[in-house]
Amino acid sequence: MAVGRATSRGLFGLVSFGVLVLGAACAPAAPAAPGGASAPAGRATASTAAAAPTTAASPQAASSAPAAATVKVGVVRTLTEAGIYIAMERGYFAEQRITLDLENFDSAAKAVPALSTNQVDISSGVLSAGLFNAIERGVDMKITGPVSRQEADLSSNVILVRKDLVDSGAVRTYADLKGRTLAAPTRGSTIEYSIDVAMRHDGLTADDLEWIDLGFPDQLPAFANHAIDAGYNTEPTATIAANQGVAVKWRRVGDWAPGMQFTVLMYAPQFGQERNDVARRWMVAYLKGLHDYMDAVKKGIGKEAMFEILARNTTLKDMSLYSQVGWANLDPNGRMNLESLDDQVRWYFDKGLIRTLPDMKSIVDLQYVEYARGVLGEYR
């Protein structure tokens, strides 16, 4: 099983350069408008918040400049999309002569058809059996890099347990969850896989729980009404539940499976093939945004400014929560734990959720993050 810190073992190992799709509702619903900056439902063009340089370019410079391009990106307005919003507002896409056309989706699952038919160029989300079944049917989407990885010191996904069960000592170990109700927005994805890994610590499996299909925000009233015992959740809803006193952030994914690759970045079939230069330049801007993200999260550099950017562009508007939520590892060097991906795919196959083991070497395309890292250098 490969859920420890990223290594070079296994079918793929941790590739030095790596940078959705999912079962429904793995991301919170997109907001009608993120904060003070308007973001209407559906498509919202965002050229850049930071103006492009106004100095006139020489004829020679103009001839060597890359062609201007628009890239359509499917978003669900989550915190793990921070790299996109930081790069957008700080002009990193403008530096690459790229304008973003953001398409809002209620969940990453709804972005899949748009991505597979080239209606959007890029989207992100968790892995799922549905993704690999679609690829088996001939949908030529590519995993081009990581979005979030759950680590011991950086983890945003948690098991919530009802507060009275924790306070009374009724739930202390994974074994204490056996037979209890656990709410989650979907099964057959990284969510169920990660719960299975947790339960294996006490010799059990995810099937030893009573699963209830319930989205992240809907779990809060269910906890308050004692309708559920536990729930798989993410930030900021997990922190809101804890603040309301209805549940406890009992365990983080980074506690039981450090290094788990949770979400990935994907390119539509035509984007990388027909607009390769644009696809590479997009990744440069994106990783530059992740540099700033890690500066804020790990080093405290520009943290408040990042919070303001995210408040304008994501569903989290309450500024007081930004200092309380758990943050995921968004790898600034585009590294992806491919051993973790391999373990997840094997789990789907063993569970009978996919018919054949996919050739991950044909699905994962690392050229874009390799190019971006070559341009930007190693983040330290």
CA distance 377 to 110: 35
Give the highest mean pLDDT range of 15-24, 59-68, 307-316. 307-316
Beta bridge partners of 247: 162
Q: Does 375 have pLDDT greater than 50?
A: yes
More confident residue, 73 or 55: 73
Q: What are the structure tokens assigned to 334, written together?
A: 């585009």
- Per CATH, 14-151+260-376 and 157-256 having the same topology is answered yes
Using one digit for the tens of pLDDT, what is the confidence trace for 68-91? 999 999 999 999 999 999 999 999
Q: What is the DSSP string of 134-182?
A: HHHTT---EEEEES-EE-SSS--EEEEEEHHHHHTTS--SGGGGTT-EE
- Categorize the per-residue pLDDT at 131 as very low, low, confident or very high, splitting at 50, 70 and 90: confident
List CB contacts of 65: < 8 A, sequence separation 6 or more: 57, 97
Using one digit for the tens of pLDDT, what is the confidence trace for 171-194? 999 999 999 999 999 899 999 999
Mean pLDDT of 38-52: 44
CB atoms inside a 10 Å sphere around CB 291: 18
Mean pLDDT of 140-148: 92
Q: Does 31 have pLDDT greater than 50?
A: no
Q: Does 46 have pLDDT greater than 90?
A: no
How much of the chain, in percent, has pLDDT values that exceed 70?
A: 83
CA distance 210 to 181: 5
More confident residue, 106 or 168: 168
Q: Where exactly are the structural domains of the chain?
A: 14-151+260-376, 157-256
Please tell me the predicted confidence (pLDDT) of residue 108.
72
CB atoms inside a 10 Å sphere around CB 173: 9
pTM of the model: 0.83
Q: Residue 2 in contact with residue 347, Cβ under 8 Å?
A: no
Q: Does 5 have pLDDT greater than 60?
A: no
Specify the CATH number of the domain 14-151+260-376. 3.40.190.10
Please tell me the predicted confidence (pLDDT) of residue 44.
55
More confident residue, 11 or 43: 43
Dihedral of the CA atoms 84, 191, 317, 248 (nearest 10)?
-140
Q: Does 250 have pLDDT greater than 90?
A: yes
Please tell me the predicted confidence (pLDDT) of residue 45.
52
Q: Does domain 157-256 have CATH number 3.40.50.200?
A: no
Please tell me the predicted confidence (pLDDT) of residue 3.
45
Q: Residue 190 in contact with residue 328, Cβ under 8 Å?
A: no
Please tell me the predicted confidence (pLDDT) of residue 173.
98
